[in-house]
A and B are shown apart, each in its own frame.
Chain A
């Protein structure tokens, strides 16, 4: 099955700084790479995704970059704010049904 590794497991940054979370995957057939944000006690919510035909996608303060050759993709958050504090998950489709296998999560804390 798909092996998805996510780093770091915890990340603390000062408000206004940037945060970067990285995921590596094993299935070279994967072509869809979403990121989810889960606030405390809430459901995971899709915040950005990228398909393999592009190398970068931006949406305001968040961006995702993809390196298909190296099989890794990263989430970049700029100008972090306290409300960015949450657990972030990467995911990769796997198996015959292409269901999402999630990374282990990164607890991001933005310090005011």
Chain B
């Protein structure tokens, strides 16, 4: 079983469209995250979410919104896609105690044309 699974793996879409990326973890972790990796390989936190709290990186445009139906799922919805949104998006999960490693999903390569 894949511990953290993301779908889709590839996503090509036109500017202005709305899209969603799904993430599920079966590790029983309390906290899930979304990271954006740009073409220079920088891994930048976008959101962290547990049952109690959503932490939003202040640099993330409000076109991006996380949605969590339960603690095993954290989806990412993006409105009005722009060319600069093209990147690889990684979901991850952890115990959320600040002393545990993350398990990453396989990533979603988003290309906006």
Contacts and interface: CB of A to CB of B under 8 A. Distances in A.
Interface in B78-104: 90, 96-104
Interface residues of B, number: 26
B107 interface: yes
A49 B98 CA distance: 12
A32 B98 contact: yes
A89 B33 contact: no
B68 interface: no
A45 B97 contact: no
A31 B99 CA distance: 7
A75 to B, nearest CB: 14
Nearest to A102: B43
A46 interface: yes
A106 B101 CA distance: 19
Interface string A33-51: 0100010001111100101
Contacts, number: 59
B90 A43 contact: yes
B55 interface: yes
Contacts of B48: 97, 99
B66 interface: no
Query: Which size bracket describes the interface of A in this complex?
Result: 20 to 34
Contacts of A62: none
B101 A46 contact: yes
B99 A32 contact: yes
Given A100-B45, A102-B35, A107-B41, 14 more contacts: A32-B98, A32-B99, A34-B101, A43-B106, A46-B101, A46-B103, A51-B99, A87-B41, A89-B43, A97-B55, A99-B33, A99-B45, A102-B42, A105-B42
Interface of A: 31-32, 34, 38, 42-46, 49, 51, 87, 89, 93, 95-102, 104-105, 107
